Structure 1
């Protein structure tokens, strides 16, 4: 862990949070992941050894606590860790506003669909379980995915769930990420045939409404001051 050896609270906080992957682990815990495997799903580029080391460091400084469990290890944020929620949120808004769109080589279909499922409002989903079939054209297998919609929420799978399929989408991962992150509109992507739907007009309209957009595409929830005091 880097020691800046400064009195400034920003420096002391950065000693803990500035380590690689640390804030992404906090992000996963904020999303409700608790089991080691669930956390690992949200940080697919992280080795299991490094994940274990970061969780140990966060536990030692009081950001994370290890829960009593049998079998797979489980973790949760402490009150100090939960107070990082607004920090992570503001980083998301800042990144969406000021950083360029993600590079195609940085996109992972599993992680993108996980993010999309987390952002879907269950209240907008159909009353019966249905599936949306997706085919990504430019990635290594698996290229076929399904999103399952139900009143309880949304999830993704590589295996055919054997549910009624409302529509099919053929696209690149970058095209779907572009509309999800608000860098282009559905209308633009459909007009350019970067995204192609198979389904009725109603099904297409419903699907777009169910998927929605990443929350960071919306304006910041509070006005930010032009000047910050640190």
Structure 2
């Protein structure tokens, strides 16, 4: 690992944290991912080899602790790693406020629905197994359909039909749904504009914004135009 060769505490911190993908791995660990495949799903464009390398670096730096759970490697943040939470939160808030432009390369359905799944307010959903189906109309057929399923108090993400009749179908483009999730536009605004369409009984359609919610950073105030 190359270093800045400075005694400055900022430089010392960046010796560990400014390698590409490192803070995004920390972000996933802060969000609750503990296994290698979960970390990959949160960073779908990161190669397995690079993820393994970054985890080793963070482990050597005392940021991550690797243990075995029934023979399966488990990764958790140490006290030093948990102390990065306000740093990551502040970076996220800064990005929402000051870097709002989304290029085509920033749009990824795998990451979008993985992020949605882990913050689903399951208590707001009906008590029995319930599915919401998503149709994306501006991506390839292999990534155009997704299902969010809540049962027994857990949320699951499927990219193949789970065999549960969906309570409602959400039709949208990937960019439009990503903007709703980020909080760039509200659910009501997207629905009124026709950028998002809900297909299903009226009573269920009214519940979808509450069932899905928005990103934890959606509430960050944007600067005035």
Structure 1-normalised TM-score? 0.89
Q: How does 1:146-157 map to 2 (within 5 A)?
A: 146-150=147-151, 152-157=153-158
* Alignment match, 2:16: 16
Shift of 1:76: 1.3
> What per-residue deviation string (whole Å, max 9, x for no partner) do you get for residues 12-65 of structure 1?
001101111001111111122122111111111111111111111111111111
* Alignment match, 1:197: 198
Whether the 8 Å CA contact 2:183–2:218 is kept in 1: the answer is yes
With 139-148 and 102-111 compared, the bigger mean Cα shift is at 102-111
Runs of 5+ consecutive residues of structure 1 not aligned to the other structure: 221-230
Root-mean-square deviation (CA), in Å?
A: 1.7
Whether the 8 Å CA contact 1:117–1:153 is kept in 2: the answer is no
C-alpha distance in 2 between matches for 1:55 and 1:46 = 12
* Alignment match, 2:111: 111
Runs of 5+ consecutive residues of structure 2 not aligned to the other structure: none
* SS of 2:167 mapped into structure 1: strand
Shift of 1:149: 2.3
Shift of 1:72: 4.1
C-alpha distance in 1 between matches for 2:110 and 2:72 = 22
> What per-residue deviation string (whole Å, max 9, x for no partner) do you get for residues 174-206 of structure 1?
111111111112233223322111112211111
With 54-63 and 72-81 compared, the bigger mean Cα shift is at 72-81
Shift of 1:69: 4.1
Whether the 8 Å CA contact 1:36–1:72 is kept in 2: the answer is no
Structure 1 residues 95 and 151 mapped into 2: Cα distance closer, same or farther (>3 Å)? farther
> What per-residue deviation string (whole Å, max 9, x for no partner) do you get for residues 104-137 of structure 1?
3321111101111122222222211110111111
Whether the 8 Å CA contact 2:96–2:220 is kept in 1: the answer is no
* Alignment match, 1:75: 75
* SS of 1:207 mapped into structure 2: helix
* Alignment match, 2:54: 54
Whether the 8 Å CA contact 1:123–1:151 is kept in 2: the answer is no
C-alpha distance in 2 between matches for 1:105 and 1:81 = 29
* Alignment match, 1:40: 40
C-alpha distance in 2 between matches for 1:212 and 1:115 = 11
Structure 2-normalised TM-score? 0.91
* SS of 1:217 mapped into structure 2: coil
* Alignment match, 2:127: 127
* SS of 1:165 mapped into structure 2: coil
Shift of 1:138: 1.3
* SS of 2:14 mapped into structure 1: helix
C-alpha distance in 1 between matches for 2:117 and 2:68 = 28
* SS of 1:216 mapped into structure 2: coil
With 41-50 and 63-72 compared, the bigger mean Cα shift is at 63-72
C-alpha distance in 2 between matches for 1:200 and 1:83 = 45
